[in-house]
Chain A
Amino acid sequence: MVSSYMLSVLTLICINIVAVTGLSLLTGFTGLFSFGHSGFMSIGAYTAAILFVKFNMPYWAVLPLGGLAACLVSGIMYPTLRLKGDYFAIAALGFGESVRLIMDNGGNLTGGARGFGGMPTLTKWPEALLVAVIALVLMRNIIRSRFGRTLIAIREDKIAAQSMGINVARNQYLALAISAFYCGVAGAMFAFFMTYLQPSMFDVAKSTELSSSVVFGGIGSLSGSVIAAVILTSIPEVFRPLMQWRMVFYGLALVLTIVVKPTGLMGTNELSFGFLRRFARKIISVGKKSSQDTTNPKGGK
């Protein structure tokens, strides 16, 4: 028997999978780091909540509408794409904070700092999983398409891609818009999971968590993002007793990952049984090599 607590953690994992997958298109496959994607979640969440509570639109309609709203707003970031990556990351931070401020000042529309409630718990276990799976399948198709390959080309060498005739800014913007859509949908799901929204739920810390999950899981790996989302959600629960130190280890893990294996946990690989087999074989062979060394001290390299 699975307790309602475990179900709600699983639901939260699905929400995070949608968000992290969307962001991985921008950060992982296109190489643009963002500090402000919680702003898109916020837009999606509030749009969905307001449409549901004040305009009585159905749940399954407000989810994509929330995503669409976030997608449309992402247009304001277009000018920053022409610039170097660092400009974009910080501008994104400014964006996230600005969204929060708008929600705080929303008066009766958004409830401001006092929050917006009245949503029933409609994001539940089997439905959330369905949305996550659809999101993943869609993303897989995007990545495998010509558009996906274009993004990877841009990530690897912007100038080479440009000289091949690729319109860098336009493709980067599409990646941003799609990532915004995904985060918007995730935000909408979140609204009906928490049943109550406050602008402070979507802060810089949340953006940073999302972005670092993508990197941690593997830049350019979809299953890496899924695993990272799983870890991101479940670790706080598993390590509840170590609350304060959890974030310390998280930061340390991030640094170590980048220094030791910059491509992240999964690198650019996708999880499959073939991969697991190769991984297991590598571990076994490393084990064999070290035992050989100890028996033969003069063993040369």
Chain B
Amino acid sequence: MIEMIDVWKTYPNGVMALNGIDVHIEKGEFVYVVGPSGAGKSTFIKCMFREEKPTQGSIIINGTNLSKVKERQIPKVRRKIGVVFQDFKLLPRLTVFENVAFALEVIEESPKVIRERVMEVLDLVKLKNKARMFPDELSGGEQQRVSIARSIVNHPPVIIADEPTGNLDPETAWEIMDIFKTINERGTTVVMATHNKEIVNTITKRVIAIEGGRIVRDEAKGDYGYED
């Protein structure tokens, strides 16, 4: 499903974010990516949906080698990967419904299918009654749920989340995790970078720890492993 082979990333300012990452993630897995700030977690995540391009090495997602994908084809790759961000990245001038629908509009779905599928995922994240609201009328947790709805609405095989609970209070964070669990149980692969020790230690899943741009630990049923 996801394979990284000897991936290196050096930013133009000289920061070496990834120094030889090898990782293999199976279909249907739930993986936490942990590690101290600045260890390379975000770069690791960003490389997966090609927001950043690795300096060296190859990343294969859904059978596509990202390093060989032409610039024009990148949107197509991204449509098969759902991405959830720490800062939600919702379009501020679109309603909840329109934000979620956007992911289907880009693949030119018919309005009828769009309406059905959007209402379906909004039901899943329990926001059906707020479909006509704008993002700034929602709480942080609600905004994140919209963002999750958008990421899963076209049924991608992989969801990548970059600290999805980072901006939320603990209670809301648990709600969000419940949604991710549900999504994962339906067979979607989830890769989540997180700083949330409690969550990692309670909902135990595979843990990949990154430090200094390298994988220092990779356990099938791991714990957070840092004293925060």
**Are chains A and B native binding partners rather than an unrelated pairing?**
no
Interface residues of A (CB under 8 A from B): none
